[in-house]
């Protein structure tokens, strides 16, 4: 972005070069996600003659270059939420920005390491809405909120599509990622903020406009967008709707994903051991 030198391979080579040679530091390579898209975003702003820090626009490249050098603006604007999607810290805890995570004080935890935890009682865990910051301790209340506020009926979708537990997990993770990236999964439109996305979903009614299953029923969506997404722990694998669940003393057993049962049998460790034993005999 600042010289004609070209790089290939590991992204850390490029990022370290920009930091060392051009005093432009966007963070440690291991702390950045979607690096290619991040660099394309920065390059697009520079091509539009826009300062990356104060975001003012200039008449030509030389003026922009002098401005960024003299004002020491060779850095990105930390207040621009557009960049949040490119830093792993924003994926640590749902509902908290990187600033809130950094302000958390762990000293109290360190001071009480030797305390007796035998009488400790777990506090109720609240679950966050897929589309806004609304929280609820019961999945039924959260589903009711999403249906009323966002016209997204999770139990109905699960029932109509016949989703098993793992498919529900992938659907939730898919929606989380799209919302985090401020992208409408219904029409693929990209927005400047999540607030703009929510307004679009409400006006266009696209919250219930799910893409075809092959778009989100992918192995990559086994992995959560946020580290502590409690919604994933409340998903049901029963045949009845989530709202109709009755408390039971039975132990809940989550079934395995048997959608590819033949492939699982062929690749199982037990099957391989039996084959080896047969060859020896």
Strands 135-136 and 127-128: antiparallel
CA 43 to CA 38: how far, in whole Å?
A: 9
3-class secondary-structure state, position 127: strand
Cβ proximity of 33 and 88 under 8 Å: yes
User: What are the residue boundaries of the structural domains of the chain, listed by start?
Assistant: 11-86, 127-242
Confidence band, pLDDT 50/70/90 cuts, at residue 241: very low
CA 32 to CA 24: how far, in whole Å?
A: 15
Give whole-number Cα distances, 144 to 50, 57, 150, 264, in Å. 44, 46, 10, 37
The pTM assigned to this predicted structure is 0.50
For residue 135, the cross-strand partners are 128
- The 10s digit of each residue's pLDDT in 128-187 is 899 998 988 888 899 999 999 999 999 999 999 999 999 999 999 999 999 988 999 999
Give every CB contact of residue 153 below 8 A, 6+ residues apart in sequence: 143, 146, 147, 208
């Amino acid at each position: 972005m600042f010289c004609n030198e070209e790089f290939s391979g590991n992204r850390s080579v490029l990022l370290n070069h920009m930091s060392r040679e051009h005093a432009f530091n966007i963070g440690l390579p291991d702390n950045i996600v979607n690096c290619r898209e991040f660099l394309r975003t920065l390059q697009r702003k520079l091509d539009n003659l826009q300062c990356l820090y104060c975001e003012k626009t200039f008449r030509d490249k030389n003026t922009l270059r002098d401005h960024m050098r003299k004002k020491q603006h060779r850095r990105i604007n930390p207040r621009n939420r557009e960049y949040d999607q490119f830093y792993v810290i924003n994926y640590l805890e749902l509902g908290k920005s990187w600033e809130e995570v950094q302000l958390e004080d762990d000293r109290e935890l360190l001071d009480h390491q030797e305390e007796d935890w035998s009488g400790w009682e777990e506090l109720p865990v609240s679950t966050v809405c897929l589309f806004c910051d609304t929280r609820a301790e019961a999945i039924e209340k959260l589903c009711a909120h999403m249906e009323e506020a966002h016209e997204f009926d999770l139990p109905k979708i699960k029932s109509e599509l016949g989703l098993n537990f793992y498919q529900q997990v992938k659907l939730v993770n898919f929606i989380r990622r799209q919302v985090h990236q401020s992208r409408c999964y219904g029409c693929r439109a990209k927005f400047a903020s999540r607030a703009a996305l929510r307004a679009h979903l409400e006006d266009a009614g696209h919250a219930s406009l799910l893409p075809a299953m092959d778009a989100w029923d992918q192995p990559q969506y086994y992995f959560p967008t946020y580290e502590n997404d409690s919604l994933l722990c409340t998903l049901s694998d029963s045949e009845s709707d989530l709202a109709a669940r009755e408390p039971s003393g039975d132990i809940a057993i989550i079934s395995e994903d048997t959608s590819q049962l033949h492939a699982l049998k062929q690749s199982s460790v037990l099957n391989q051991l039996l084959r080896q034993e047969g060859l020896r005999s």
